[in-house]
Amino acid sequence: MSQEMLLRVNDIDVFYGSLQVLWDISLVVNKGEYVAVIGANGSGKSTLFGAILGEVHPAKGSIGFKGKDITGLTPFQIVGLGISLVPEGRRLFPDMTVLENLIIGSYTRKARSRREESLGRVYKLFPRLEERKKQLAKTLSGGERQMLAIGRGLMSNPTLLIIDELSLGLSPIAINDIYESLKQIRGEVTILLVEQNVQRSLKEADRAYVMEAGHIVLSGKVENLREEERIRKAYFGVKN
Partner 1 sequence: MTLELLTDLATPITRGILLGGLYVVIALGLSLVFGVMKLINVAHGDLVIFSSYFAFFAMTSLGVDPILSLGMSMPIMFGIGFAIQKYILNRSFRVSMDASLIVCFGISLILENVYQIIWTPLSRGLTTGYALKSFAVGAVNIPLVYLLDFIAGLAVMFFLREFLGRTYMGKAIKAASQDHRAAILMGINTERIYGFAFGLAMAFAAVGGVCLGLTFPFTPTSGPQFLIIAMGVVILGGLGSMLGTFIGGMIFGLAQCVGGYFFGVAAQMLVAYVLVFIILAAIPRGLFGR
Residues near partner 1 (CB under 8 A): 53, 55, 74-76, 79-80, 84-85, 87, 91-96, 100, 103-105, 107-108, 111-112, 152, 156
At closest approach, how far in Å is the CB of 229 from partner 1?
Answer: 37
At closest approach, how far in Å is the CB of 184 from partner 1?
Answer: 23
Choose between 86 and 216: whose C-beta lies nearer to partner 1.
Answer: 86
Task: Provide the 10 A C-beta neighbour count for residue 200.
Answer: 19
Choose between 12 and 111: whose C-beta lies nearer to partner 1.
Answer: 111
- The contacts of residue 44 (CB under 8 Å, 6+ apart) are 14, 21, 22, 25, 211, 213, 214
Task: Provide the 10 A C-beta neighbour count for residue 23.
Answer: 15
At closest approach, how far in Å is the CB of 100 from partner 1?
Answer: 7
CB 43 within 8 A of CB 37: no
DSSP state of 141: -
Widest pairwise Cα distance in the chain = 57
At closest approach, how far in Å is the CB of 74 from partner 1?
Answer: 7
Choose between 89 and 220: whose C-beta lies nearer to partner 1.
Answer: 89
Choose between 96 and 217: whose C-beta lies nearer to partner 1.
Answer: 96
- Where is 76: in which H helix or E strand? helix 75-81
